[in-house]
Chains A and B, each alone.
Chain A
């Protein structure tokens, strides 16, 4: 594929990223300029700015599919969709951070988060392994800092360190894999790599080794088994808005890289696909089984997010247009749903001062609408209609059956049953258990109410009027093959 010569329009292609960087600058400047009691504006600016950038992306940065910026970037439909998901996740995270102690009034917190979003966007845009790795590191380092942002809190500091150690190790392994790829093919552009690999000059074993090494790094990002060990501790220790961000945007970014490298770049899928099939089956099963035993809501959602990585992988290993469309749709559904779930968790933690599931007792009497938001989010995670997760799971299992992976579809549906069990167990506490003496209503600031309303509507939209979103996902998938 030829590389387009520079043209001013190429600036427009990365307009959202440029705008995000500018927004980060604005937030940093405001941080210095604003009086202490007006610092809530920082988060609001980040959120509103991000929503404006989403509008900009929709209006101006429509996908072209060309290789631009010296072959570093391709703004195709997949990049377009993923980028919107990342910026949306960032915007909601900013809203959810507004009243969280330790992060709420810090300009650098929001700026670093925007930096992470930029990194993720470039992960999705990258058409070249060098660009790809730079983007992974940008997003990664920003993520480590965010996880450990409240450094005076031991758990947050521990989360940051743990995240960093795992991240650094796995990304080094991935870098080695990418360097092997360059060594074998003499190319850094993913399309060029694919062309060389397709010529059959590189031994199959070499491709498989490369695939294994790269999966280590990507698996870490996706929090798929067996690269998931960091997830429960980091999720639990990190400030909850950061957990929301890492569990949604960062995981999705992992899948974006997976698609770039394993569809555009590597050939001989038959040789390494079984590895990903195993990853999918084990992630679902282990994630769900371990979630059963959790008493802390953040740890429960951590294990559930591992399982969800597994479901999305089920669609990926179908390795077809339908499969990729299902993966993208599943991730969209998951991001919206999980952000809503964490939104509730943040609010309850603010009021109750704890993330223990027992603290949710009787919430439906104290705060009926918050309980309802939680019901919507958790049932969507469980895959119940008319909510986003239902269509997500439906497409995933359809892709698996279509690819002849009927057994994997069965593993998936059995896992969905386990999932339903523990999601219902939490909802039981919310709706059935009596409220403890003197428990008050959960305080819901207006911004949080707005965020949860937007997310709930999004969950229902994705779960009923599925066609337009699936159309996006399908176009993204068609651009990949």
Chain B
């Protein structure tokens, strides 16, 4: 549906404008600052919901398109539009932003700056998801990078925040500037004098060119998706970040990496993707298995979730690397499902930590009696994480595995073609490990005997916390029961990708 209202621009720029506005508030008006932040987040979420339900599935393709010349001599335009893959990401970002504000209600140190930076970050994220112009994408991608540094370094966990923030920022910046050089090479070699991604899809880059530049672009962005061996910044960053930032980070930012790797890497350099496919699958498989094992070994509650993200993002990458419609649909669903799930997890961890002031799993226990809502929400997240039928994780992981299973025939002739069944087997084993670490955390933290030192100190979760976790948890359940709410949409997006991949 084409609307006169520039809905994507408003979604993208509202957080930034709000961020700037917040900075003009007197610092001591904390209540007004929070309420303004909440109003802006609600408005943005509302608009993303409107966009989501107004997308015309029958027409598919890019919708709500807006285009304006930005820098004419170089063919740079402000060019936005969403398809079946990016629209759920916009919705996801809106949700994480909204719940992130609720969860951060208690931030008392410079809340003005906190919400301002968080919102600038949100603008960066929205901008990438809706970008149809390479420059536009890169511009907003970089906007998303630096607020992370400040958010983690200022409001993070005192022990590791400075180290983790710097490590994260440098990793992401290195990845993005390498991708930048690749994108510039594409721009100049295409001879089209445009950064328009849809036009660049027709550029017909030579195989040698694609082979050389694909790794820069794909892995440059995939750093943000936490692909092995560049995943190292991610658990450290998650753990050091304040709750809302962890939610944003694992829930949305990592998707940004996978999304950009797909949009720019795979869709613009498909032959390169095909050439590097075995390596991507190999690395993604390590993500899945190694991430799960490391998560199992952690004593720190938050690290468990941090490494589970590494593992789950591996599944997204596997889905992308199938290069078939089923797998890419699965990857899209997994991005959404994991985004909501991990935001929920970090919200739960944050609520527990705020009360217990420790995240050491062996010294926790019995929180179910004091935090029943959090317990239920965490268990729902856990079931999603394990891929249990009836929850969104299942409808995401199944297509990925099915896609992988049949990917052998799509890539017939490739030397890894005969091994796809093995890859599926290994990935499935990882899901079993996921079940073990999730159940361990549930049992140790929420059930059993509460240690004596916590008795009487643990307050119930606040109403705002409950709103946040109920919203996130119900989306996970809803999507698990009614996959039709999203699966056809993402499938249409995957079709769009397949159309570009063409003969592959």
Q: Pick the residue among A365, A409, A424, A470 that contacts B169 (CB under 8 A).
A: A424
Q: Pick the residue among B69, B177, B187 that contacts A467 (CB under 8 A).
A: B69
Instruction: Chain A residues near B170: list those with CB within 8 A.
Output: 417, 420-421
Given contacts A417-B170, A421-B170, A427-B150, contact A398 B74 (CB under 8 A): yes
B192 within 8 A of A: no
Is the pair A398, B142 in contact by a Cβ cutoff of 8 Å?
Answer: no
Given contacts A384-B146, A431-B154, contact A417 B174 (CB under 8 A): yes
Instruction: Chain B residues near A185: list those with CB within 8 A.
Output: none
Distance (Å) between the CB of A441 and the closest chain B CB? 12
A264 within 8 A of B: no
What is the chain A residue whose CB lies nearest that of B188? A402
Most central of A372, A420, A466 by chain B CB within 10 Å: A420
Instruction: Chain B residues near A397: list those with CB within 8 A.
Output: 180-181, 184
Instruction: Give the complex CA separation of A406 and B23 in angstroms.
Output: 40
B218 within 8 A of A: no
Is the pair A410, B173 in contact by a Cβ cutoff of 8 Å?
Answer: no
Is the pair A413, B181 in contact by a Cβ cutoff of 8 Å?
Answer: yes
Is the pair A466, B71 in contact by a Cβ cutoff of 8 Å?
Answer: yes
Most central of A372, A375, A432 by chain B CB within 10 Å: A432
Q: Pick the residue among A372, A385, A420, A467 that contacts B139 (CB under 8 A).
A: A385
Is the pair B143, A386 in contact by a Cβ cutoff of 8 Å?
Answer: yes
Contact with A along B159-172 (1 / 0, CB 8 A): 00110001001100
A377 within 8 A of B: no
Distance (Å) between the CB of B310 and the closest chain A CB? 23
Instruction: Chain A residues near B69: list those with CB within 8 A.
Output: 467
Contact with B along A8-25 (1 / 0, CB 8 A): 000000000000000000
Instruction: Give the complex CA separation of A364 and B150 in angstroms.
Output: 12
Given contacts A428-B153, A432-B154, contact A421 B139 (CB under 8 A): no
Given contacts A413-B178, A424-B169, A428-B162, contact A401 B185 (CB under 8 A): yes
> Across the A-B interface, how many residue pairs have beta carbons closer than 8 Å?
87
A88 within 8 A of B: no
Distance (Å) between the CB of A398 and the closest chain B CB? 5
Distance (Å) between the CB of A393 and the closest chain B CB? 9
Q: Pick the residue among B70, B72, B73, B181 that contacts A406 (CB under 8 A).
A: B181
Contact with A along B264-294 (1 / 0, CB 8 A): 0000000000000000000000000000000
Is the pair A409, B145 in contact by a Cβ cutoff of 8 Å?
Answer: no
Is the pair A421, B181 in contact by a Cβ cutoff of 8 Å?
Answer: no
A416 within 8 A of B: yes
Instruction: Chain B residues near A467: list those with CB within 8 A.
Output: 69-72
Is the pair B113, A368 in contact by a Cβ cutoff of 8 Å?
Answer: yes
Given contacts A421-B166, A424-B169, A471-B73, contact A410 B181 (CB under 8 A): yes
B149 within 8 A of A: yes
Distance (Å) between the CB of B452 and the closest chain A CB? 34
Instruction: Give the complex CA separation of A416 and B184 in angstroms.
Output: 16
Contact with B along A382-414 (1 / 0, CB 8 A): 101110001000100110011000100110011
Is the pair B149, A424 in contact by a Cβ cutoff of 8 Å?
Answer: yes
Distance (Å) between the CB of B163 and the closest chain A CB? 11
The number of residues on chain A lying at the interface, defined by a beta carbon within 8 Å of a beta carbon of chain B, is 37
A136 within 8 A of B: no
Q: Is the interface of B mostly helix, strand, loop or mixed?
A: helix
A103 within 8 A of B: no
Distance (Å) between the CB of B206 and the closest chain A CB? 16
B499 within 8 A of A: no
Instruction: Give the complex CA separation of A471 and B145 in angstroms.
Output: 28
Instruction: Give the complex CA separation of A410 and B174 in angstroms.
Output: 11
A474 within 8 A of B: yes
A87 within 8 A of B: no
Instruction: Give the complex CA separation of A240 and B153 in angstroms.
Output: 30
Is the pair A364, B110 in contact by a Cβ cutoff of 8 Å?
Answer: yes
Instruction: Chain B residues near A325: list those with CB within 8 A.
Output: 73
Given contacts A390-B139, A398-B187, contact A368 B27 (CB under 8 A): yes
Given contacts A397-B184, A409-B181, A420-B170, contact A431 B150 (CB under 8 A): yes
Is the pair B153, A431 in contact by a Cβ cutoff of 8 Å?
Answer: yes
What is the chain A residue whose CB lies nearest that of B71? A467
What is the chain B residue whose CB lies nearest that of A467? B71
A67 within 8 A of B: no
Q: Which residues 39-81 of B have a CB within 8 angstroms of A? A: 69-74
Distance (Å) between the CB of B191 and the closest chain A CB? 11
Is the pair B143, A385 in contact by a Cβ cutoff of 8 Å?
Answer: yes
Is the pair B143, A364 in contact by a Cβ cutoff of 8 Å?
Answer: no
A379 within 8 A of B: yes
Q: Which residues 99-158 of B have a CB within 8 angstroms of A? A: 110, 112-113, 135, 139-140, 142-143, 145-146, 149-150, 153-154
Instruction: Give the complex CA separation of A467 and B143 in angstroms.
Output: 19
Instruction: Chain B residues near A414: list those with CB within 8 A.
Output: 177
Is the pair A417, B71 in contact by a Cβ cutoff of 8 Å?
Answer: no
Distance (Å) between the CB of B137 and the closest chain A CB? 11
Distance (Å) between the CB of B192 and the closest chain A CB? 14
Instruction: Chain B residues near A364: list those with CB within 8 A.
Output: 110, 113
Contact with B along A359-377 (1 / 0, CB 8 A): 0000011001000100100
Distance (Å) between the CB of B79 and the closest chain A CB? 14
Distance (Å) between the CB of B168 and the closest chain A CB? 11
Instruction: Chain B residues near A420: list those with CB within 8 A.
Output: 169-170, 173
For this complex, 26 residue pairs linking A to B, each with C-beta atoms less than 8 Å apart, are A368-B27, A375-B150, A385-B140, A386-B139, A390-B142, A394-B135, A397-B184, A398-B188, A402-B188, A406-B181, A406-B185, A409-B181, A413-B177, A413-B180, A413-B181, A417-B173, A420-B169, A420-B173, A424-B169, A425-B166, A427-B149, A431-B154, A432-B153, A467-B71, A467-B72, A470-B73
Residues of B with Cβ closer than 8 Å to A? 23, 27, 69-74, 110, 112-113, 135, 139-140, 142-143, 145-146, 149-150, 153-154, 161-162, 166, 169-170, 173-174, 177-178, 180-181, 184-185, 187-188
Beyond A420-B170, A420-B173, A470-B71, 7 additional pairs, beta carbon < 8 A: A409-B181, A413-B177, A417-B177, A424-B166, A432-B153, A432-B154, A466-B71
Across chains A and B, which 4 residue pairs bring their CB atoms closest together, nearest first? A413-B177, A401-B184, A467-B71, A385-B142
